[in-house]
Amino acid sequence: MELPWSYFLAATLFLVAVLLLRRQRSSKCKYKLPPGPRPWPVIGNLNVIGPLPHRSIHELSARYGPLMSLRLGSFPAVVGSSADMARFFLKTHDLAFLDRPRLSAGRHIFYDFSDMLWAPYGAYWRQARRLWQAELLSASRLRETEHVRDEEVHAAVRGLRRAAAGGGRAPAVVVNNHLAMVSLGVISRVVLGKKYVLEGGGGGGGSPVPPEEFRRMVQELFFLGGVLGAGDFIPWVDWLDLQGYVKRMKKLRRMFDLFLEHVVDEHDERRRREGAGFVPRDMVDLLLQLVDDPNLEVPIERDGVKAFTLDLIAAGTDTSAVSVEWALSELLRNPVVMAKATEELDRVVGRDRFVVEADIPNLPFLEAIVKETMRLHPVAPLLAPRLSREDTSVAGYDIPAGTRVLVNVWAIGRDPALWGDDAEEFRPERLVGSGVDVKGHDMELLPFGAGRRMCPGYALGLKMVQLTLANLLHAFVWRLPDGVGAEELSMEEKFGLSMPRAVPLVVVIEPKLPAHLYDEWQAPIIF
């Protein structure tokens, strides 16, 4: 009598579990690993990672310490949950932890690891980092595009004013819809050269993606970029695609590729048309110009251009919108802080114009609000995972080569040892006049990471958050809808490549500046 195939499958799984368990025991004998929960066969510690991994891992770290060892399926991992551990992984031994694990998102969405975020450490990534710093996101490039940010933020203010105009009673407004469009407007013009996706109609310039669909694509990108896919942790089940994530990633890649091919084709056509007189006008132009550079150490292929462009779109559209929405949420829960912020804006800017970037250094309380928001609500609470390139040791423990490394910046931002007993409270005053910054130098506040793998677009992201939040607070009076008290405002989050609110913020706003400012606006010259 033949046995059912399920018996053979069960026997195979049992054998694999035994082999993995033996392998784990042998590695423990060779290395002194940091403390951590005992792993299960096959799944390791995946069973204790909940829907909000940064919170689950924080609870485990409270038991096992700021350096903790985990087994994520077939792979060893360590988690740093203190400023000292962040400094070890991201600064003092940065070179040992510069690699990335080869996860499904990088393979299926970002053109087989051709982008900046997921590219493995090597000549291609080092070259890309230099190009991003010197060409795409340099200080001079940001200065050249300052007017774009001013114009798009004002367009968002105008759109919010229209949405809030409801006769005698102002209707509730879903803030994120407008925040997403201002971010998309800036990135479209700076990266792509024009608005390929326009609100209130189809895509501009013959774009194959209408605006609502494009926003859903970006949201799907950030969800799939942060999922815990079974195949990423247990490789021998990857082909099964148990959760359906790989199928979704491939579909999303096809959708983005249609859009990006259209963008690149249009840019190529303009380059051919202008010939020797061609002058780069945007980041895609710069990337295509680099493709032809014979001095590059590693050639950049067409997929590389599309992958870098996708990086720029993703990093610029969702992350700043998420941070501004969290900031507004905290301010609505803390009316005294809101009042101090608006008083500063009235005093420094006045009520006869909007805020421009030159104002920001003169708004220390607003800057503190942004920092405090990023402390409590970092866009990437666990940062992107790193991979140990060599054996290292710290605090008497070993970290073998091939170990996945996570830094829980969400936990560091709420550490009472760093921030006091009120670490869970939103209190921007703690950062006014403080030398603590978000630029990767201070390990207690790391929303953009640190070291060589730090987010290369942090300067652009920070400018977008500061300018957008300042203008929204200056242009409107904000309150929650009737029947919703500050204590009832949900602050639940959802996990992905970014950490947005689980429930979109709904508000009631009233314009407070002269009406003509909302209709005809030009950036004033600030001396």
* Binding site, annotated residues for heme: 455
Closest among 304, 333, 289 to 135, alpha carbons compared? 289
Q: Which residue has the tokens 């990423």?
A: 232
Q: What burial letters (b/e) apply to 62-72, b meaning 16+ CB within 10 Å? A: eebbbbbbbbb
163 SS3 class: helix
Closest among 224, 238, 241 to 73, alpha carbons compared? 238
- What's CA 488's distance to the chain center, in Å? 27
DSSP letters spanning 279-306: ---SHHHHHHHHHT-TT-SS---HHHHH
- What's CA 223's distance to the chain center, in Å? 11
Q: Which residues are annotated as a binding site?
A: 455
| Token digits of residue 509 | 């706003």
H/E stretch holding 26: helix 5-30
| Token digits of residue 279 | 């002058």
Contacts of residue 217, defined as CB under 8 A and 6 or more positions apart, other chains included, come to: 209, 252, 255, 256
Per the CB < 8 A criterion, the answer to whether 455 and 115 are in contact is no
Distance from C-alpha of 109 to C-alpha of 121, rounded to nearest angstrom: 19
CA–CA distance from 72 to each of 116, 222, 243, 363 (Å)? Answer: 24, 21, 17, 44
Report strand pairing: 392-394 vs 397-399.
Answer: antiparallel
Distance from C-alpha of 150 to C-alpha of 189, rounded to nearest angstrom: 12
